[in-house]
Amino acid sequence: MTHRPAVFAALLGLTRAGSAIGDFWVQSDFCARVKGASDDHPVTYVDPATEEKTTHGTADGRKACLTHCLTYTATQAIIAGAGARALGIKVHPAAAAAALAISFTTHYAADRRVPGKGLLEKIATKTGKGGFYRLADFGMNGAFHLDSAWHHGWETVAAVVATTKATTR
C-alpha cells in the first residue's frame, strides 16, 4: 500500500458523511428523543402523527439507542463501502469490521445520555467542561458539540484501523 494517507483521508471523509447522514437523516425522531431515557429520568414521547403520548424508561432508552447505533453504523458501512469501491479502494474485511465496531461501540457509549450518568457528561465534568456540556443558550448546545467532537475523534481512529491492509485496485 503506497498511498495509505490518501486511503485514510478518503475513508475518513466517507465515514464522516455516513455519520452525518446516519445521525441526522436516518435516525428516527423516536430514537433521538428516547435514547437517553432511564427509569430515574423517563422521557415522554409525543408521536408527531397521532399526538399520542407515551412514557419510556431504561429498557426503551437502551433499545432506542441500540436501534439508532445499528442504523447509524449500517449507514456508515454502506456509504464507506460504496465510496471505497467507487474510488478503487479495497478495504480488508477484518479491518472494516473492526472500524465499524469502534464506531458502533463509541457511538452507543456517547449517545446513551442518561442525565447525570452519561459518559460524555461525566468526562465533560471531570475535564472542566461541565458548564459547556450543559450550555443550551445563545444558539449553542454544548452537549451536541462535545458529542460531535467525540464522534469525529473516534471516526478518525476507526478510519486509521480501516486502512490496515487496504489496497488500491
Note the pTM of the prediction, 2 decimals.
0.91
Which residues, other chains included, contact 85 with Cβ-Cβ below 8 Å and sequence gap of 6+? Answer: none
Q: Are 4 and 152 contacting, i.e. CB atoms less than 8 angstroms apart?
A: no
- Pairing label, strands 43-46, 53-56: antiparallel
pLDDT, residue 2, reads 57
Confidence of residue 166 (pLDDT cuts 50, 70, 90): confident
Q: What pLDDT, on a 0 to 100 scale, did the predictor assign at position 1?
A: 46
Give the number of other CB atoms < 10 A from CB of residue 48.
9
Rounded Cα distance between 10 and 85, Å, is 11
